[in-house]
Amino acid sequence: MKIIVEIFIIFMKIGAFSFGGGLAMLPFIEKEIVDKHHWITSNEFIDIIAIAQMTPGPIAINSSTFAGYKVAGILGGLSGSFGIVMVSFILITILAKYFIKIKDAKETKAVFKGIRPAVLGLVLSAAVTVGKTALIDIKSVCIAIIIFLGLNKLKLHPILGIVLAGIMGILLY
């Protein structure tokens, strides 16, 4: 039961101190479950991200659910899920009526202008982390470049990109 509570507290901390959505939370999640607690390996973390991206729903909740499940089964998955959303849910519920009054204030806009670059840094950090583990040889680099170009130049749907990457993986590996 101790591990269930620990999973909840860790994901509650991540949910409380992360801005910018799920991708921005990935470095925090990795730091806690891979680097600090050694519950999973870097490769398993990349697999969790891949699964979380492919399944419906927000990546932060999916990642926390899969990581919690990997560490402590169904109760671990539930604990991670509830932990990651708990603080945000409570804060949004309390602050919603006040935010409507201050959303156009100069100070509020300034805070969000300051947070945006930090969120970009967190997302780029997640990309570097994934890249270190996912780009293991020239074939994987080629797959990444082809999918990147397909998504950005040809405007392929992300689901089609995932399917094409899977097909390329089957053919190349």
CA proximity to 102, closest of 93, 112, 116: 112
CA proximity to 60, closest of 7, 15, 126: 15
Residue 131 confidence (pLDDT) = 86
Q: What is the dihedral of CA 91, 1, 56, 19, to 10 degrees?
A: 30
Q: Where are the domains of the chain?
A: 2-134, 136-173
Distance CA 171, CA 173 (A): 6
Residue 122 confidence (pLDDT) = 82
CB 81 within 8 A of CB 65: yes
Helix locations, 103-157, DSSP H:
106-134, 138-152
The tens digit of pLDDT for each residue in 23-68 reads: 778 888 889 999 999 999 988 988 888 888 878 888 888 989 999 9
The tens digit of pLDDT for each residue in 72-118 reads: 999 999 999 999 999 888 988 888 888 888 888 999 999 989 988 98
